[in-house]
Chain A
Amino acid sequence: MLMVDSYSYIDDHQGVSTLAVKPDNIFIEDGQLAPEAIVEHIAQTAAAHAGYRRQLAGKPVCLGYIGDIKKVGFGASVTPGDRIATNIEIVSEVGNIIMIAASSLNNLGEHVCQCRMKLAMDESAN
């Protein structure tokens, strides 16, 4: 259930990922991508960004888990053939807990989803 294809931009505090939604995506229901899947796409975007930063810092990449999600709103529905671009920014970081703000657009520039998410990085599961 890989939900990120690539990064189009990345730096230490921000990243932009893309996902081309295919018809065989496991989260397609009634011809649309389930809204939960967009949240998973955001979570994987944030986890990949965290992995990138750990590599830059010379640390081993580890697993990341969603701790909580807040202020999630959904816009345009997503269907196979759409391409989602998601921008994440680090809001705060305390120890292994990272808070991010995320916003997703479709290929027409329409708002798809926004949220705040807390991720816990598990260094015991390298």
Chain B
Amino acid sequence: MALINAYFTIANPTNAVETPSGCNATPADEKVDLNESPAAGTLSCDITLNPDHEIYQGHFPERPICPGICSIKMMREATSAILGRPLNLLEIKDCRFPALLTPTTLDDGCTPLPRRLTLTVKYAPAEAGFKVEATLTDPADNTATDSGSTPVDSPSPATYLTFRGLLG
């Protein structure tokens, strides 16, 4: 998918729309007309951060951290792109940032590489827009801990955003 914002790109979008007979996987280029028939479903995509973007010059000098609100905005913009309609942020019920999101990783131990994330969004029609539950994880980072201290027996991808709210 094309660049939709300079500070990140998305790829490999999927959208599984729930139908009365079950989930129906929808190809990325096959938009669901949610205006015609509001539907529930789960979408996902890969997100690659752009570590050279100007937001990291000030947030923070010599210590680049992706602003939490940019994680929310990435979720909203990627969801808008995959569903094929502009969505505004209407409400945040609960949003957590469990770990600091740096724009690069050191996959080979020495060379900074743009961080790749996986966005998963469950959506359902609501009175105003869509009720949304979203997570942003790094599948290559299995250093997740419970309570932030003790390694878990079966490491799960590091989570950088959990979001519950309304888009519309």
Does residue A10 face the partner (Cβ distance < 8 Å to B)?
A: no
Q: Given A36-B73, A72-B165: A1 and B59 within 8 A (CB)? A: yes
**Cβ < 8 Å to B, chain A residues 9-64:** 26, 30, 34-37, 39-40, 43, 63
| Residues of B with C-beta under 8 A to A65 | 65, 68, 97, 100
CA distance A39 to B86 in the complex (A): 20
- The number of chain B residues touching the other chain, given as a range, is 20 to 34
A1 touching B95, Cβ below 8 Å: no
Digit string of B92-120 for contact with A (CB within 8 Å is 1, else 0)? 11111100100000000000000000000
Does residue B140 face the partner (Cβ distance < 8 Å to A)?
A: no
Task: Count A/B pairs, Cβ under 8 Å.
Answer: 64
Nearest CB in chain B: distance from A104 CB, A: 14
Q: Given A67-B97, A72-B92: A39 and B69 within 8 A (CB)? A: yes
Q: Which of B55, B88, B96 contacts A67 (CB 8 A)?
A: B96
Q: Given A1-B67, A69-B92: A63 and B60 within 8 A (CB)? A: yes
Q: Which of B55, B63, B76, B97 contacts A68 (CB 8 A)?
A: B97
B63 touching A63, Cβ below 8 Å: yes
CA distance A39 to B96 in the complex (A): 13
Nearest CB in chain B: distance from A56 CB, A: 22
| Residues of B with C-beta under 8 A to A67 | 96-97
**Cβ < 8 Å to A, chain B residues 35-93:** 54-55, 58-60, 63, 65, 67-70, 72-73, 76, 86, 88-93
| Residues of A with C-beta under 8 A to B76 | 36
A36 touching B70, Cβ below 8 Å: yes
| Residues of B with C-beta under 8 A to A34 | 73, 89
CA distance A68 to B97 in the complex (A): 6
CA distance A30 to B89 in the complex (A): 14
Q: Given A39-B69, A65-B100: A26 and B54 within 8 A (CB)? A: yes
Nearest CB in chain B: distance from A92 CB, A: 17
| Residues of A with C-beta under 8 A to B72 | 36, 39
A70 touching B60, Cβ below 8 Å: no
B96 touching A37, Cβ below 8 Å: no
CA distance A68 to B92 in the complex (A): 11
B96 touching A68, Cβ below 8 Å: yes
Can you give 18 A-B contacts (C-beta < 8 A)? A1-B54, A2-B58, A26-B55, A34-B73, A36-B89, A39-B92, A40-B67, A43-B68, A65-B65, A67-B96, A67-B97, A68-B96, A69-B94, A70-B94, A72-B92, A72-B165, A115-B92, A125-B60
Given A36-B72, A39-B92, 7 extra CB contacts under 8 A: A30-B86, A34-B73, A36-B89, A68-B96, A69-B94, A70-B93, A72-B165
